Structure 1
Amino acid sequence: MKSILIITAFLISSLASFSQKLKSAKSLTTAFSTAAKSGKPVFLIINTPTIDHLKKLPENAKVDFTSALDDKEVISKVEENFVVYNTTMVDTSVRSIMRSGNIKQFPAYIFLRSNREIFFSESANSTDKNRYFSMIERAKAAFKEKSISDLEKDAQQKGDAATLKKLIDARKKIGITNNADLIEQYVGNLKISDFNNYDNVVYILEAGPYADGTAYRLAYTNRKLIDSIYKTEPQYKRVAFNNAIISNTMIAAAKDKNLNKAMAGANFARSTWSRDYRGADKSYNNQMLWYYSTVKDTASYLRTAAYFYDNHYMNIGADSIKKIEQRNHTVNSKNQSLQLGAKKMVSKEKMDSLMKLPGIKTVTSSIVSISSSGNNYANELNNAAWKFYEIGTKNINYLTKAMLWSRRSIELNPISGYYDTLAHILYRIGYFEEAIKTQEIAIEKAKKEQISTTNFELELKKIKARTL
């Protein structure tokens, strides 16, 4: 169960009035077909399903969620240059594009060639139409540049450092963080002395090299330089280095079913926790759980998960968990703000000077980012319990653990979905009457939460009929 975190940035400019809407293609397929015929690129707009429940802002914050994309001048400019497809993040047809472009902030504005290749992207809503005019011009300029597919052909033919760098840079520009294979080729063109150069090593780390790869080993040959990089670079960049290395290594490991590579990725994740041994152990096992789940190694998953959730989630009291989560939420919010601030915000001095200008009104730029839940422990325990149920195990020891995890998730956050999970596990164990009562609670909770009870009621019928 994922949740979303609102990150808002406030910019200053004049505020226009809006009334129209962009014309959108009926489907993504239609948009690409029209683009191929017209020679225009596709402008893909991905919003959150609804914005109403996201407006949880400080009491003194005044936010206008209208968009300058509804301004008639902006609409005219967009429709003149692009084929538009407007959708939401739950649209399955755009998920592969979201993955390839590493799209995590919404609304997302993604520009694609007719072959579905991303060539430019931005995020955040704004009430400043000049922001969109600027975006359009930059997208048009990017469209004229050499495509990634052409750069890939060049890299295959030449394979030199300069050509590979152009390809890596083009991929980074559109948000692709998995450049591990390319950086392996790239370092093959370098001299040993190049790994004593600060900028060269930063460039390698940004590509997310495999934790068991040549590029990673060569980048770490000068330990003093690595230490300097991790002390000098901003925190969000250091986190990005580590996340890319872990993610790229684990994805490659799962793809090839390479246990040794997975362990290398998990060990790197563990090393990022320095002297926090508990956090390091948790990070290692979290990565290995993902690997076992992805390659469908059920026996290893169940064995590792049983240790992992008992050791890291069940041996600490509910009150302590809530304090930890509050502290983590504060830290994560601060880190998100710093990262977005570096990219989106104008300086305080600039903002103050703009505020003094006559006739200037505040313009809001809003961003919705995918982030971890505020009730992370409850969510993870619920998901772990449901995973054990979903796997289909009938081992009473594993099911008992899942039941205890589910009960703890409810203790931390008593919502309908968690009661539904517990009801299913109780049914699997054979506690049919308790399963019925628990599912009835799930339905009552869902009503209070104002969400659909249809699926919960269908599951209740199956529990009563013993056909679940």
Structure 2
Amino acid sequence: MTDTSVRSIMRIGNINRYPAYIFLRENSEIFYSEFGNSTDKNKYLSMVQNALTAYKEKSISELEKDVEMNKGSISQLKKLIDARQKIGITNNADLIEQYVSNLTIGDFNKYENVLYILQAGPYVDGTAYKLAYTNRKLIDSLYRNESAQKRIAINRAIISNTMKAAVKDKNVNRAMAAANFERSTWSRDYRAGEKSYNNQMLWYYYTVKDTASYFRTAMYFYDNHYMNISADSIKRIEKKNLDRNLKNSFPEDLGKKIVSKEKMDSLLKLPGMKSATKSVVGVSSPVSNYANELNNAAWNFYQTGTKNLNYLTKAMLWSRRSIELNPIGGYYDTLAHLLYRLGYFEEAIKTQEDAIEKSKLQGMNPVNLQAELKKMKARQI
């Protein structure tokens, strides 16, 4: 996780479940991956066999050469897109743009074609997306009939690919298109949609270092969505969101497969039967984590290097609220740095000492916090 080359592989392969088993070619190209632990050795034997089979297939780089040599070949493009999706690569926006240029108008009235285009994660402001949406009834049917898991994956890919391209080209109009698309996914929940829109634009402005737009949007966003509500209300919202997340973390058809303990015990008594334990850990952000988001916002303000008292004071208020919601060491560290930059050196030192004590109680190594405390005392930050 600390190796930049490994993080790059994880990002390309969209690895977000652990433990992960990633099989690479000699050029570090992913060709197969699986997830989860099991006490059954057959899981691992099967995994290796599947990986060996996948290794014999054409590599992504070979398929890319085929596309280059056979420009205009829709079958070669499809093979490349399919291969990338098979190993977890969800950013196929540029490829799907080439793909649709070889289709006829009638092709966009076919359910399977439109679904295929959307699963590639087209740019919201691109030709592929616009052509896929020419038949609105078909789009409505698709979003009604496909599973929630598939619909969510489609929307995430579209938003992520569009935003990344916007950042790469510093294209604010493309960023707004992606943010508008995310807002539309909230249907009639206008407040949640507005929050999502601003969240996307904040990420864009911060990433491209448009600090003026970032400060302006952030001050409106966090005050409007995080500071005009009491701490108790926030805790109730987070409890509700946590319960919903836990409920939605199970497969949709899990209820159909539950077997009673009595039935399972009787099955295990049959000759040759044995039990095996399997586990997969998914990594995702909570739907609503007010304290963490306020702390991150405050720290982002600090990291811009601003010395504007209005911005720093605003960030300090956010930081104090994050501590009120969840008094952990990292949040005290943020507040200490903001106090230091505001010139409240003694209070900053006391707050950093609190950060160290809180971290110890959490079982965290405070060595980095102690180093920052030393700098504060020496006025070297």
TM-score with structure 1 length normalisation?
0.77
Report the CA distance between 1:377 and its aligned residue. Answer: 0.7
Counterparts of residues 49-60 of structure 1 (less than 5 Å): none
Structure-1 separation of matches of 2:287 and 2:125: 34
Residues 292-318 of structure 1, C-alpha deviation per residue, up to 9 Å, x if partnerless? 111111111111111111111111111
Looking at structure 2, the residues matched to 150 and 355 of structure 1 have their Cα atoms a distance apart, in angstroms, of 48
- Could you say which structure has the higher strand fraction? 1
Partner SS for 1:109: strand
Change (3 A) 1:297 1:374: closer
Output the aligned Cα RMSD. 2.0
Give the structure 2 partner of residue 240 of structure 1: 153
Give the one of 135, 138, 158 matched to 2:47: 135
AA aligned opposite 2:51: A
In structure 2, the partner of 1:216 is: 129
Q: 2 CA distance for matches of 1:366 and 1:388?
A: 39
Query: By how many angstroms is 1:212 displaced?
Result: 0.1
Q: Which residue of 1 aligns with 2:18?
A: 106
> How does 1:293-312 map onto structure 2 within 5 Å?
293-312=206-225
- In structure 2, how many angstroms separate the alpha carbons of the residues matched to 1:365 and 1:447? 33
Shift of 1:99: 0.5
SS in 2 for 1:201: helix
Instruction: Specify whether residues 99 and 376 from structure 1 end up closer, same or farther in structure 2 by C-alpha distance, changes over 3 A only.
Output: same
CA distance in 2, matches of 1:151, 1:414: 52
The alignment status of 1:169 with 2:82, answered yes or no, reads yes
Aligned position for 1:401 = 314
More helix, by proportion? 2
Out of 248, 253, 269, the residue aligned to residue 182 of structure 2 is: 269
Identify the match of residue 69 of structure 2 among 152, 157, 176.
157
Distance 1:175 1:262, change over 3 A: same
3-state SS of paired residue (2:277): strand
Once the 2 structures are TM-superposed, how far is the Cα of residue 338 of structure 1 from its aligned partner?
2.2
Distance 2:116 2:41 in 1: 35
TM-score, normalised by the number of residues in structure 2: 0.94
* Partners of 1:375 and 1:412 within 8 A in 2: no
Give the structure 1 partner of residue 142 of structure 2. 229
* 3-state DSSP of counterpart to 1:146: coil
Tell me the distance in 2 between the aligned counterparts of 1:160 and 1:279.
43
Cα-to-partner distance string for 1:19-63 (whole Å, 9 max, x where unaligned): xxxxxxxxxxxxxxxxxxxxxxxxxxxxxxxxxxxxxxxxxxxxx
Deviation at 1:374, TM superposition (A): 8.2
- In structure 2, relative to structure 1, the CA distance for the partners of 1:232 and 1:356 (3 Å cut) is farther
- By relative contact order (CA 8 Å, sep 6+), the higher-ranking structure is 1
For the 8 Å contact 2:186–2:193, the answer to whether it is kept is: yes
Confirm whether residue 93 of structure 1 aligns to residue 5 of structure 2: yes
Q: 1:306-385 residue pairs with structure 2 within 5 A?
A: 306-338=219-251, 347-348=257-258, 352=264, 354-355=267-268, 357-358=270-271, 360-373=273-286, 376-385=289-298
Distance 2:52 2:136 in 1: 43
- Give the number of aligned pairs: 377
Unpaired runs of 5+ residues, structure 1, are: 1-88
* Alpha-carbon offset, residue 346 of structure 1: 9.8
Q: Is the 8 A contact 1:236 1:335 kept in 2?
A: no
SS in structure 1 at match of 2:112: helix
Report the residue type matching 1:173 in the other structure.
Answer: K
Q: CA deviation at 1:121?
A: 0.8
Deviation readout 1:355-396 (Å, 9 max, x if unpaired): 453453431111122111587110010011011011111111
